[in-house]
Structure 1
Amino acid sequence: MSKTSTGEPIEAPGFEGRYGETEGYTIGFERYTEHADMAPLFVGLPEDRCQSPHWGYVVKGKLVYHTAGGDIEVVDGEAYYVGPGHTPEIFPDTEIVEFSPTAELNETMEVVTKNLGSMG
């Protein structure tokens, strides 16, 4: 799977994402042009945190996963794993490739989508 084979992008201010599924996993190619603290999107999930684990690689830029055990900072050229129970903070000019179990991701995204809708 490649970034261009995933179909049409999902776009929002400061964000572009392309997603595909294979063997029970969702692969995301994401690009951020603005700072994004995503904690408010997870309100309503257990501990108000993302419930899906993620494996990924930072192509360029920086992201921080805030967890109950502390922050996990990942910068360009680094691979990462973060378990359930986190909130992401993405910095401008960041590109990542991320792998997530589709079932857990979809459960989390139901709440994220609802929260996005209520934010206007």
Structure 2
Amino acid sequence: MTATTRESTPVEIEGGGVELRTREIGGGLSVAFVRFPAGTDMTPALRGMPDGMCPCPHWGYLLKGRLKMVTKDGEEVYEAGQAFHWPAGHVPVALEDCEYVDFSPTREFTEVVDHIKGRG
């Protein structure tokens, strides 16, 4: 079994108040600890991905703030205290300072993280 904390999980992306920490935890899944300051729009970072959206599904829990998820079918707002599933094809936009933890398939998530890091 594997366990980790936010503090012991390596930082993969950091800058402008955005912080992404991720670690593979087994079973083909990775955990991510994410912080977005209010106003963060991931649209520019996801350009070049299929449909300009994140192609990786995520399951998790919003710890703090409000986050709008833009999809081809519209928008949905998530608030602190909600568990979520975001299927492939989404773009997060932070309406308030946000913190969440999510679980994602490692291979797909690594491709997204590498893409975002390559744009920086």
Aligned in 2, Cα 1:70/1:8: closer, same or farther, shift over 3 Å? closer
Tell me the equivalent position of 1:42: 46
Q: TM-score, normalised by structure 1?
A: 0.85
Q: Aligned residues, how many? A: 116
CA distance in 2, matches of 1:44, 1:32: 21
1:19 to 6, 16, 22: 22
CA distance in 2, matches of 1:8, 1:31: 11
Contact 1:62 1:90 in 2 (8 A): yes
Q: Quick check: which one's helix share is greater?
A: 1
Aligned in 2, Cα 1:78/1:43: closer, same or farther, shift over 3 Å? same
- 1:64 alignment partner AA: K
CA distance in 2, matches of 1:27, 1:113: 18
CA distance in 2, matches of 1:111, 1:9: 12
Percent identity, aligned pairs only?
Answer: 35
Tell me the SS of whatever aligns to 2:96: coil
Aligned in 2, Cα 1:46/1:37: closer, same or farther, shift over 3 Å? same
Q: TM-score, normalised by structure 2?
A: 0.85
**Cα distance, 1:29 vs. partner?**
1.2
Structure 1 vs Structure 2 CA RMSD: 1.7
Structure 1 residue ranges without an equivalent (≥5): none
- 1:109 alignment partner AA: V
Runs of 4+, deviation exceeding 3 Å:
7-10
Which range moved further: 64-73 or 30-39?
A: 30-39
**Cα distance, 1:18 vs. partner?**
2.2
